[in-house]
Structure 1
């Protein structure tokens, strides 16, 4: 009987050791796949343990390197293509400007109207090219994070102060509430860009004399514990038709800012601001949500609390 008990204990111990030996590399596998899915191509993937798992780790790392090459090729193609488009477009815009100034002779009313259409459309095309470059640069930069412990409440205050002239000019009240001591390892420039885009949108869509509220703190639910950075405004909110696509690059929603915040001839938004927000937040391992029934637009950024400190 004693020998049986010893055998059982030995078997249990062996099973425990084997389980630990097997589960530790499996725990590394999950975060590696999540990082690849989120575009995190910088960290090498190394899965220790049994030969099959180690081989899988090497294959994933080869995939990571290939995805990195494809990502760089895409960025290079966009840069070169945009540059090649900008040069002839600049010449075209200059020629149209000379025509509008009457350098080639006085224009009839119909000719002036046609030249005006050309000026408008070439201006729109130039803006679209610049937006494409800006989005591509932001997406690339999001993969090159420089994390450091950051006081998040202070980061929000910096974002608010950077746009102080804009919100003061519209008579808006802006408050930053929540945990003033919360520190988290983030890239303050990249996350600050995302927060700044949310802030500028809130300013554009808020009615004169409205209120913008920032809040930062920890949210705990049955599914997760996360840091939340949330912004609410008093604007018209996001229409139901736009909610599904609001974070898509170059998607421009149907809701426009109130007339007091822009001139009648001002172009609509580029449609990349919220896409850049999603890129920068995803690079931090987080996600951005459009909250429902908030009485205006309400966006919430969630950052995982288990981010390793640097």
Structure 2
């Protein structure tokens, strides 16, 4: 059964009326094509108005929609082949970080991303998409493997943050993420990073240093989640909507602040409504970016990557 967010319910009610109208028309052999067209137009108009005026908090809700496709869902639809690789060669395998060689329309790439779960046991197995240090070390190992064979890297980011447990800190969570930031900056192959859902804090940044950093339309990217920001500032989650507005964490905000390089539009209503359409859009953008980045020399890519990230946060006082 489809999960509905509050602002989706008026649209769902009209869609339900449309289905009832069609069913009754079929049962009674009545022509209601004119009414169906009118109702279809009303639904389309309501969708456009609703999703053109979403608040930042509503975008956050969409990014977490339980029906939204995750990393492995995209890999299944975008890649003709995918060979998952496991382990960081130090501690263990981290199921919340997946990756391996894949082919996209004949182009071999290394795909890496955080993976959430849908059912309770899978969520526990994937640690709710929160990687431990070994997840980031596995990701770096796979990136270095891609560099060795001169293959582009694509990272799909969807995490509420790196795992904050004591054991993660004891095994060097901060060091693992910091090392990834340094090493990704110097990779000689094209690196494309795409935030497909939640992009929270260092957990996201640990696999988000690339030549191109892109966001899906209804994803978010910030140093902290609205709930945690609200908890710190107001000692309560009740102000999460105000926090989301203050954080300016949507794809539009990030593009305006020059913190990302582009936004990938989602199907009207969100990626969760049409996995195949969203996957095709994602695949097309990935192939286009790889083609453009492949025209540059490795040193050009490294220099531009460093220059781009060093320029972030610069300002002038007038």
* Structure 1 length-normalised TM: 0.28
Between structure 1 and structure 2, the one with the greater Rg is 1
* Structure 2 length-normalised TM: 0.28
